[in-house]
Amino acid sequence: MHEQTLPDLSWVPPRVAITDTADELARIDEVIRRGPFDDTWESLRGFEPPEWFTQAKFGIFVHWGAYAVPAHRTEWYARLMYREGSAEHAHHRETWGELTEFGYKDFLPKLDFANFDADAMVATFRRAGARFVVPVAEHHDGFTMYDEPRTRWKAPLIGPKRDPFGELADACRNQSLVVGASSHRAENWFFYNSGRGTASDLQDPRWSDLYGPAARQEVHPDPEFLEDWLIRTTHIIDQYRPQLLWFDWWIESPGFEPYLRKIAAYYYNRAAEWGRGVVLHYKYDAFPAGTAVFDVERGGSSGIRSRPWQNDTSVSRNAWGYIDGHDYKQPRELLSDLVDVVSKNGCLLLNVGPKADGTLPEEEVRLLEQVGAWLARNGEGIYGTSPWTVYGEGPGSSLSGSFTDGTPFELGTEDLRFTYRTNTDVDYLYVLSVQAAGHDVAVRTLSADTKLLEDHIETVQLLGTMEHLEHTRDRDALRVRLPQHVDPGDGFGLRITLTKPPRPQRRDYLHNATTP
């Protein structure tokens, strides 16, 4: 157990008096009133995902917070440490002491971020091939990683005593990456409820502005909480101008509905003022289709979706934030997710979790660099592409829906994924693999007898070197021979240049001329 002494609470800032709610709500209504979107679903269906998002395909999620201090089992440690009978509760008492003396709040000053270097972290994300970054602004625990004026429980005042979110946002823009933000604030309504019946610091009214209402999950949030949620979210929007706003689950609870309409209208109108394209993400049925972009957590799709969508997942199978004892995925699993999602009109948001000192774990850096190495060779088949007629071929298939990555998903040697690009004078079809059995590749979907591809195959090139490859097309497959320097185990990318079949000439009898 860590040595226990009488708690020193001199680090706790004074409570913030909230007196501006009416003025803030009026400000929000004014932005909605004067913008192109109003807070109705009918109006919000005018939203279109921006081109930067539909072309980006790959972003990095950053789960950071005080849960990295105990680093035990899960980023939900703050909730589970108060639940009697849980492994986290037993661990906490054995390691940190009684909950009456050392509660979750006492981890906050230990989040020192002593080695946090935003520029270096973003450089790692760039090497990974990411085009945008989504740091967590506030997790369920109620501690903000940005400078939120309505709370004292924030990184600029406690722990790091700096604005990690703002620093990372600046570093992203300086290195030409798009900045997003995620809000998990909604769950703070019930997050600490398990501590209501436990002897702990949750019973102390001095900390109620951190631990929140601690209500039961089935109880709908009250207007005071919902208004605060709305106002805080507009602060993230206005202070940092993120071009992506990601909401975690539970906003689909009925009480949130009018506030979701307001935040979407507010965000889209602010974006119109900035002259920037923005995207808002939701889960489950929180938003009607066409008003924002659907997000699947740790899952996938069994086929091509008609609208752009996103899969958010983590490099770790068992946590989002930093913990001791990660069950890390293999690089090929991450690449399988990426090419499968992109082939089905989606985007992959891949999560990492910095340690309490603000650095990325070495294994997570290694995984990102291996993804980046594959993208450095084959990125042309990912960025800026569209889904083709079919997403691919082979026996491997991701499971549709959320929370399916408990079972490892890895595309095999027979699995190929297709993407497509249309240019003004030529079309390209891309064939992507994360592992091959050998140097002879058979693409059965592109056989001479296929009805899916009527265009003529002009050339087949290897992505990364753009070497022209020998190929033949018979009744069973398009057959391509990879160069000997290619390691089939690393997969490959092919660019197939297509030309349209010649159109038959037509006779213009009126003008006695032949026209194409």
Q: Would strands 386-393 and 471-473 be described as parallel, antiparallel, or unpaired? A: unpaired
Per the structure, the count of domains in the chain is 2
pTM of the model: 0.95
Provide the domain limits for residue 39: 28-381
Q: How far apart are CA 338 and CA 367, in angstroms?
A: 13
Dihedral pair phi/psi, residue 331, rounded to 5°: -55, -40
Kindly state the DSSP code that residue 328 receives in the 8-state scheme. Answer: B
- Claim to verify: residue 133 and residue 267 sit in the same structural domain: yes
Q: For 216, what's the count of Cα atoms within 13 Å in the CB-facing half-sphere? A: 3
Contact yes or no for 135/182 (Cβ under 8 A): yes
Spell out a b/e string for 206-244, using b for 16 or more CB atoms within 10 Å of the CB, else e.
ebeebbbbbbeeeeebeeebbbbbbbbbbbbbebbbbbb
Q: How far apart are CA 366 and CA 345, in angstroms?
A: 27
The answer to whether residue 453 sits within a structural domain is yes
- Claim to verify: residue 442 and residue 300 sit in the same structural domain: no
Structure tokens at 210: 């951190």
- Claim to verify: residue 44 and residue 84 sit in the same structural domain: yes
Please report which residue ranges of 275-346 form alpha helices under DSSP H. Answer: 331-343
Find the CATH number of the domain harbouring 461: 2.60.40.1180
SS (H, E, C) 49-102: CCHHHHHHCEEEEECCCHHHCCCECCCCHHHHCCCCCCHHHHHHHHHCCCCCCC
- Claim to verify: residue 289 and residue 181 sit in the same structural domain: yes
- Claim to verify: residue 398 and residue 362 sit in the same structural domain: no
The answer to whether residue 184 sits within a structural domain is yes
Element (H, E) at 370: helix 362-378
Nearest alpha carbon to residue 335 among 320, 313, 352, 354? 313
- Claim to verify: residue 359 and residue 392 sit in the same structural domain: no
The answer to whether residue 23 sits within a structural domain is no
Nearest alpha carbon to residue 162 among 140, 146, 180, 185? 146
- In 3-state terms, the chain is what percent helix, strand and coil (to 5)? 30, 20, 45
Per-residue pLDDT of the chain (516 residues; tens, 9 = 90+): 665 555 789 999 999 999 999 999 999 999 999 999 999 999 999 999 999 999 999 999 999 999 999 999 999 999 999 999 999 999 999 999 999 999 999 999 999 999 999 999 999 999 999 999 999 999 999 999 999 999 999 999 999 999 999 999 999 999 999 999 999 999 999 999 988 889 999 999 999 999 999 999 999 999 999 999 999 999 999 999 999 999 999 999 989 999 999 999 999 999 999 999 999 999 999 999 999 999 999 988 999 999 999 999 999 999 999 999 999 999 999 999 999 999 999 999 999 999 999 999 999 999 999 999 999 999 999 999 999 999 999 998 776 777 677 777 899 999 999 999 998 788 999 999 999 999 999 999 999 998 899 889 999 999 999 999 999 999 999 999 999 999 999 999 999 999 876 666 666 555 566 555
Q: How far apart are CA 192 and CA 82, in angstroms?
A: 7
- Claim to verify: residue 377 and residue 392 sit in the same structural domain: no
Q: How far apart are CA 194 and CA 99, in angstroms?
A: 13
